[in-house]
Structure 1
Amino acid sequence: MESKEIEIGDLKYLEEDLTGEEIVSIVFILYGAEKPKWILEKLENNDNKGNFLEEYAKTHVNWKLIIIEALAVTQIFECIKNLGVPISEAREFVRKSHLINSGIKLLYELCESLTQDISDKLINFIKDECNFATIRNVDQLEIFLLHAIVNGKIKIASTLDACDFSMIHNFKTTINVTDQKILEVLEKFPSKPNTLDNSNDSNFNNSSENFMRPNSVEQIQVAMSNTLLGNYSTKKMCVLIINQQNFVRTTNADLQKMLPDHNLTERKGTIKDREALQSLFESFNYHVTTKNDLTHIEVLREVDKITKQSSEYDGLIVCVLSHGHEQIFYGSDSVPIFIRDVKEIMSSKLLLHKPKILLIQACQGTSLQRSVRRIVPSTENDGPSTSSLISGSTRADFLIFWSTIEGFASVRHIDQGSWFIQELVKRIRETYRTTNLLDICTAVIREVSLRRGYRDECMLPKLESTFTQNFRFPTD
């Protein structure tokens, strides 16, 4: 799908063509999973002309495609035509695209399917659930759904199955629905959230207030410290290290629209991270494979290859060192790779009940977190400038450790390597004989969060885990 070239500054004119209701729908889709509290306050203050699209574009690499998808989902086809995109192509793009959170898209589909009578009943149901009497000057269902998200009555996660829509199911039991279209939409809401996936609404909210929550790490620690859980076998692990240092822009015309707005710079210092990880895992006699400067296709091919190889081992560790943005990292051809696609490949039945670890040293945004000044050497950031008879969930026994939370850059020393990888390797070497991996990761989060750059940079790594046993590195 191609569109005529538009600049971020053009978006304010596009927004001027939208009605107040259309703006509410668009920002609900764009920000509902990411910053629900912030956007709710804006909308309730009647700030319906707040240059929302322009602000969104400034913080998202793939903003053009995402905004086109949002316009197509809300069926604002006139604006799509103004962007030079044929409506038929926009419809097909929405059918295949996963750029917008699936839980938010489903909630919007519900808004569109409900009759006015049932919509009013849902609004009143949300009012009762959220314990407030009135909302100022608003009556659009999307506003009330934002209240439900902010109050934790609806929890949005990175995948539809991991979302918690218990409130929607509870509401369904209070009404008598005969309309087939409404029934079909209601049936799409998963009834049982995936409790092993620690993703929740705070994973998408960029406010510092929510990011300072421990993300259930304490609960994970307590559970995993229980010796009754047992330990994974970890003597023979397969390790893949993907080190992206140099970047070019692909000349493939079909991929041009996916490229970041700016050329990706050389990642100075990444060799230190690669060497530290390789030395660490080789010290455990793990099978280590290192690949440098892979294109997006080569990355997925190598992950698939190592996943199949690791079926003969105790588990799999994949380390990604690259530039990145929200939920993606880049191939050496500057084409983005969705982290969920890597996780999907690793979640193979060949590795059922075996530990799968994904370490990601890459930015998840462009903003730098700031704190108290402390003089240290110069830093950069990693952003854009076989069948089985056993059963179980392939989503279990997975750990993802991100160098930073969504929306923020990841700090890397140009000579000594990244804060995250260097601290992780140091902690494992010092404590692996007495400490399990989850406790090590928690210590890394604390230590990295206390570091400061010469321009007040700070970082907060993020841990996601569905481990069902303790992971301990071999001690002999």
Structure 2
Amino acid sequence: MGSGISQNQRNKFQPSQSFSSRNRGNTATQHGHVTDALPMDHSHGMQAMSNSSPEGTAPSSGPMPRMTWKEFESVAYCMNHEKRGMAIIINNKTFQPHLKLEVRSGTDADSMALLSTFQALGFDVKPYDNKTVQEMITILSDASNDSDYHRKSDCFICAILTHGDEQDVLYGTDGKVGFEKILSFFKGKNCPGLVGKPKLFFIQACRGNNTDKGVALDVVDARVDAPRQISIQKIPIEADILRAHSSVPGFAAWRHEKNGSWFIQALTEMLTKNWMTMDLLTILTCVNQKVAHQMTETEEKQVPMFTSTLTKVVFFTPKES
């Protein structure tokens, strides 16, 4: 099966429906759209994180990871391993009463879209529904420890669909956990089978309660040389990790109660259409554009955000059948 990608492409870096929102915990579902933002009081059920070991310090299991010099110098990640890799989907829809969090209606549409898309890309997909914080940690810890599998794989994907909060806090069904805790399982010596391979995280969750009203733009007469505002964000120092969030820090993420979220639906659509001809960062830029062009009836906007310490281009080269 042909890849549909030219050698030149591989050798260059390429970097209306009705809506409603929830305001500070007041559930409003007038038109079918909601956010994954939290009530004003969201101090319940915090998972203690002081017991975690320093990132990258766990003893490695198995032999030292290796790659050929050709793979090391390549502009694109090697996608010629026996397996594409593992893709974990954690889909949290309902939450324990003490958290006072609404049911995330529409999230099953996102989970099914991700399942279908990741399978089409050749991943071994493992979907999980409604997991507690400890269950999430166990699932991801066990996945990171499967070094024999990862050594035969091209890469790893984790998608988490849940309620979220500022400081990249994510919710299990019984409490919350920091996203950095999740990332720590796949960094450095904690996951030797994935050293030098892309580790991709897609997070559908609010990162605060703010909503974006957008900025007016005259598309016809806009100056191409107009000054741009640049926001510098911190990114992990560890290499080969990409984290794509449904919104920017501090802002809510929109989700339709039947059709799914703006971000996941755009992500799966762009991946399905373009994975044979575009690299991943270009696809994610297309996702940003598609989501940014959407707007609620009350003119609320949203833009996803991805940060990357990838050191090579990600092309999902089709596996030979």
Same fold per superposition (TM over 0.5): yes
CA distance in structure 1 between the partners assigned to 2:182 and 2:41 by the alignment: 21
Q: Residue type matched to 2:154 in 1?
A: D
CA distance in structure 2 between the partners assigned to 1:472 and 1:60 by the alignment: 43
**What secondary structure sits across from 2:185 in the alignment?**
helix
User: How far off its partner does 1:455 sit?
Assistant: 2.0
> Structure 1, residues 345-375: CA drift from partner, whole Å, max 9, x if none?
12123311011011000000011112389xx
Relative to its length, the structure with more strand (as a share) is 2
Could you tell me which of 275, 278, 294 is aligned with 2:115?
A: 278
Aligned residues: 232
**What secondary structure sits across from 1:236 in the alignment?**
strand
**What secondary structure sits across from 1:316 in the alignment?**
strand
Relative to its length, the structure with more helix (as a share) is 1
Q: Which residue of 1 aligns with 2:270?
A: 427
CA distance in structure 1 between the partners assigned to 2:103 and 2:237 by the alignment: 36
Q: Which residue of 2 aligns with 1:293?
A: 130
CA distance in structure 2 between the partners assigned to 1:285 and 1:233 by the alignment: 11
Extract unaligned runs of 5+ from structure 1.
Answer: 1-57, 66-92, 99-158, 160-226, 251-258, 374-392
Is this contact kept in 2: 1:239–1:287, CA < 8 A? yes
> Structure 1, residues 43-98: CA drift from partner, whole Å, max 9, x if none?
xxxxxxxxxxxxxxx978449x9xxxxxxxxxxxxxxxxxxxxxxxxxxx9x9599
Q: Which residue of 2 aligns with 1:332?
A: 173
After superposition, residues 26-45 of structure 1 pair within 5 angstroms as none
Is this contact kept in 2: 1:330–1:337, CA < 8 A? yes
CA distance in structure 2 between the partners assigned to 1:474 and 1:429 by the alignment: 13
Q: Residue type matched to 2:300 in 1?
A: E
CA distance in structure 2 between the partners assigned to 1:445 and 1:61 by the alignment: 29
> Structure 1, residues 405-433: CA drift from partner, whole Å, max 9, x if none?
11111100111100000001100111111
User: How far off its partner does 1:443 sit?
Assistant: 1.2
**What secondary structure sits across from 2:94 in the alignment?**
coil
**What secondary structure sits across from 2:126 in the alignment?**
strand
CA distance in structure 1 between the partners assigned to 2:41 and 2:244 by the alignment: 22
Counterpart check, 1:238 vs 2:81: no
CA distance in structure 2 between the partners assigned to 1:417 and 1:245 by the alignment: 12
CA distance in structure 2 between the partners assigned to 1:61 and 1:460 by the alignment: 24
**What secondary structure sits across from 2:201 in the alignment?**
strand
Q: Residue type matched to 1:421 in 2?
A: I
After superposition, residues 8-407 of structure 1 pair within 5 angstroms as 61-62=42-43, 229-233=75-79, 235-249=83-97, 263-309=100-146, 310-312=149-151, 313-326=153-166, 327-333=168-174, 335-347=175-187, 348-371=191-214, 395-407=238-250
Q: Which residue of 2 aligns with 1:414?
A: 257
CA distance in structure 2 between the partners assigned to 1:236 and 1:96 by the alignment: 34
CA distance in structure 2 between the partners assigned to 1:96 and 1:281 by the alignment: 34
> Structure 1, residues 239-266: CA drift from partner, whole Å, max 9, x if none?
000000111146xxxxxxxx5xxx1111
Give TM-score scaled by structure 1 length. 0.45
Is this contact kept in 1: 2:202–2:244, CA < 8 A? yes
CA distance in structure 2 between the partners assigned to 1:97 and 1:452 by the alignment: 42
**What secondary structure sits across from 1:458 in the alignment?**
coil
**What secondary structure sits across from 2:145 in the alignment?**
helix
> Structure 1, residues 130-163: CA drift from partner, whole Å, max 9, x if none?
xxxxxxxxxxxxxxxxxxxxxxxxxxxxx9xxxx
CA distance in structure 2 between the partners assigned to 1:403 and 1:244 by the alignment: 16
User: How far off its partner does 1:237 sit?
Assistant: 1.2
Q: Residue type matched to 1:238 in 2?
A: M
Counterpart check, 1:452 vs 2:295: yes
> Structure 1, residues 213-261: CA drift from partner, whole Å, max 9, x if none?
xxxxxxxxxxxxxx951333275210000000111146xxxxxxxx5xx
Q: Residue type matched to 1:267 in 2?
A: R
Greater RCO structure (CA 8 Å; 6+ sep): 2
> Highest CA radius of gyration, 1 or 2?
1
Q: Residue type matched to 2:196 in 1?
A: H
Is this contact kept in 2: 1:232–1:469, CA < 8 A? no
**What secondary structure sits across from 2:88 in the alignment?**
strand
Two-structure CA RMSD over aligned residues (Å): 2.9
Q: Residue type matched to 1:336 in 2?
A: K
CA distance in structure 1 between the partners assigned to 2:50 and 2:90 by the alignment: 28
